[in-house]
Chains A and B, each alone.
Chain A
Amino acid sequence: MAHEHKLEIFRGLLKFKSNTQKIWGVLIFLSIVTTVEVALGIVKPRALTHSHLLGMKLLNWIFIILTLVKAYYIAWDFMHLRDEKTSLRRVIVWTPVFLICYLIFILLFEADYIHNVYRDGFITWNF
């Protein structure tokens, strides 16, 4: 990467003049996202906590998506994956993403099954 930096974020919507400027731009963006997260976490709008999508509260989906957005900008701009070769970036990103999705899928399904056993089965755990 050495001395060339890609200075566009938001798919070219925002183009910075220098790398330093881009860093401050990304900081502002990350701070805004964090503020939104914290504000939502404190207010907990009823409309978002009482509607569900795929068995999870809408609010939680928003939190997770905003987290992934933040992770993207940290990895792409702070860890300058944006400036690395495409092949290196893909190896670094997709290998863990695949493994982690697999792990999440298996463990959460299993946990839900155990939860159902606790709830419906003949086990008393609250006495």
Chain B
Amino acid sequence: MDATVSTGTEDSVWGGGNRPLGASYGKMMMWFFIMSDALTFSGFLVAYGFSRFKFIELWPIADEVFTHFPFLHGVEAPMYYVAFMTFILIMSSVTMVLAVDAGHKMKQKSVILYMFLTVIGGAIFVGSQAWEWATFIKGDYGAVETNSGRILQFVNAETGKRAALADFAETLPEERVKHQASEGIWFESEGYKTSYSLNEVVEGFKATPNILIRTEQLNEEGEKTLLDRKQSLAKILEANQVVEGANLVHNEYGHRLFADFFFFITGFHGFHVFSGVVINIIIFFNVILGTYERRGHYEMVEKVGLYWHFVDLVWVFVFTFFYLV
């Protein structure tokens, strides 16, 4: 209670001097905040579950979406990078507990070291998440979208592997102009121009007999349905635009809500990690300046620690529901 303002009435029951449930005021408030934040996050995750159950048989398969690892180009590495990120976050949680533990023993030097390591861990995590976002936004194979907003992806019939648009699209002597709001319909404009026009993809598809279409529909094996060549030729006529990468409106991985939730939930979590890092840095400097040494206890480190572990806790759930299940 030393951290709160002294009113001189600590001896009376209502004077603020007693600690209900054995927790100080600040710690109790941190728990209040964490509980409300937990409910916010569960609201998001359950909303994700809602949309997923709604479109259960055409939801994208996370293993096929997150397949990249930095510096390993062209190597299929589903989940390894997220597993690495999870490990980093758990590790920085551990250094945080060690900082709290050292704080209890009033070891200023160890608290400084552990707080520093925690900040580094958090920074690596945020950086990884930025990389993950960039990879997701850039996309890898490209796809076409039908009139109803369904995604059609392409597969090489010989190898059975995904085919990128560049593998078969033709280059036609046509000029594709980026649609701007100032020209044509004023309320419509394009954020980016795809590398191939719809026409080029469709013509290339017709000219390349070993390319098949894969729809979003999951079959009984839990895999995406692969159409044969005849069905594919009929299906390509429904296409109305080329999609490369992901944004809030279109994404090449499948249902558009998937990208929306990805950006929203991991973004909100990333924001928490970011603010956690900032708060940790502030506390780190306070420890160096000896603020808590003079105050006589390191409870502030403990309170920030609670927040930091909570961020880790949330990630454990995001990891499961976004990448594993």
Check B42 against A96 for contact (C-beta < 8 Å).
yes
Within 8 Å by CB of B55, from A30, A41, A115, lies A115
B300-325 CB mask vs A (1 if < 8 Å, else 0) is 00000110011011001101100111
Are A41 and B313 in touch, CB under 8 angstroms?
Answer: no
Flag if B54 contacts A79 (CB, 8 Å): no
Question: Quick one: CB contact mask for A71-92 with B, threshold 8 Å, 1 for yes?
Answer: 1001101111000110110011
User: How far is it, in angstroms, between the C-alpha of A63 and the C-alpha of B52 when the chains are bound?
Assistant: 17
Residues of A within 8 A of B (CB): 1-3, 19-20, 23-24, 26-27, 30-31, 34-35, 37-38, 41-42, 49, 60, 63-64, 66-67, 70-71, 74-75, 77-80, 84-85, 87-88, 91-92, 95-96, 99-100, 103-104, 107-108, 110-112, 114-115, 118, 125-127
B26 to chain A, nearest CB (A): 14
User: How far apart are the CA atoms of A84 and B320 in the complex, in Å?
Assistant: 28
* CA distance in complex: A115, B54 (Å): 5
CB of A104 within 8 A of CB of B49, answer yes
Is there contact, CB below 8 Å, between A74 and B316?
A: yes
Query: B residues near A, CB below 8 A?
Result: 21-23, 31, 35, 38-39, 42-43, 46-47, 49-56, 63, 78-80, 83, 86-87, 90-91, 93-94, 96-98, 100-101, 104, 146-148, 150, 222, 238, 305-306, 309-310, 312-313, 316-317, 319-320, 323-325
Instruction: Tell me the smallest distance from the CB of B103 to a CB of chain A, in Å.
Output: 11
Number of A-B residue pairs at CB separation under 8 A: 135
Given contacts A96-B39, A100-B39, is CB(A23)–CB(B313) below 8 Å? no
- Residues of chain A within 8 A (CB-CB) of B90 are 27, 30-31, 34
Residues of A within 8 A of B94 (CB): 23-24, 26-27, 78
Q: B255 CB to closest chain A CB, in angstroms?
A: 11
Please, which residues of chain B bring their CB within 8 A of the CB of A79?
305-306, 309-310, 313
